[in-house]
Amino acid sequence: MGLLEGKKGLILGIANQFSIAWAITEKLHEQGAEMAFTHLPDGDRPKNEKKLRKLVDPIGARFVMPCDVCDDAHIEAVMVKAKEEFGQIDFILHSIAFASPDDLTGPTYAASRKGYLQAMEISAYSLLAVAGAAKKKDILSKHSSILTLTYFGGEEIIPGYNLMGICKAALECGVRYLASELGPDGCRVNAISAGPLKTVSAQGVGDFDQMLALYGAMSPMRDNIDMEDVGKSGLFLLSDLSSGITGEVVHVDKGFSKMGAPPADFLESMKG
């Protein structure tokens, strides 16, 4: 019997097979979870839906529907459908972030007002909106879990992460407040802060290959994470195995975020 046999959940934000959300979804599926999925609304051609269905239909998606997290009606429609399909759900995986390239690639002081507000609405406020809609529809089970995805650039300065770092800081603060507010209902709220992975989102970050090299050289384990690492961590945080953990940002980065200074062998290699 799988760890999540009989458990039901919503997955928001899978972009493609290289998404962290997909790595977590695969682990949830292996352990028996039933899941429904949302995608960014399409225009005239169902490009996003087709891309998502190619991944999730083979694993038995209960439903697939569009959701624009900037539209409360879209979010409510997803919760109504989830209530019809599942009654109650045991987990939500929130993997949604966006900033326009013009605002992301430049210095933070140059970000436009419109771009800042859009990035913050999609990348941080959307978690509050989704959690609030789930609570309003009373679809979260007594032992439920909400998980979102963040990055170390929300805690410390990571050159090139820029505006998204500010959004992730807000997201992580939202995790803590949601954990406090939803805790009495039995719902836990956490975030995974993953080390660098080659996802679509990572393509918007400057000097990504240098970042990979730095993490691999400086982390205590002298290595980079892979999708398997973050997939297993997501499974843990969405399962009852993590029943005593809430309001946390769990770093899955081979220990990089705990290094206060470069290790001796890294410094030695720089001499040449």
62-74: average pLDDT: 98
> What is the torsion angle, in degrees rounded to the nearest 10, for the CA atoms of residue 76, residue 81, residue 84 and residue 86?
-100
The burial of 264, by beta-carbon neighbours within 10 Å (0-12 exposed, 13-18 middle, 19 or more buried), is given as: exposed
The Cα 132–Cα 138 span in angstroms is 10
The 10s digit of each residue's pLDDT in 162-203 is: 999 999 999 999 999 999 999 999 999 999 999 988 766 655
Higher pLDDT, 201 or 148: 148
Catalytic hit among 109, 116, 125, 161: 161
CATH number for 8-271 (one of 3.30.9.100, 3.40.50.300, 3.40.50.720, 3.30.1300.10): it is: 3.40.50.720
Catalytic-residue membership of 125: no
Catalytic hit among 109, 116, 151, 177: 151
What was the pLDDT predicted at 70? 98
Residue spans of the domains in the chain: they are: 8-271
Catalytic-residue membership of 116: no
The two three-digit tokens of residue 192, written as one number: 């995974």
Global model pTM greater than 0.85:
yes
254-270: average pLDDT: 85
% pLDDT > 70, the chain: 95
What was the pLDDT predicted at 173? 98
pLDDT at 206 over 80: no
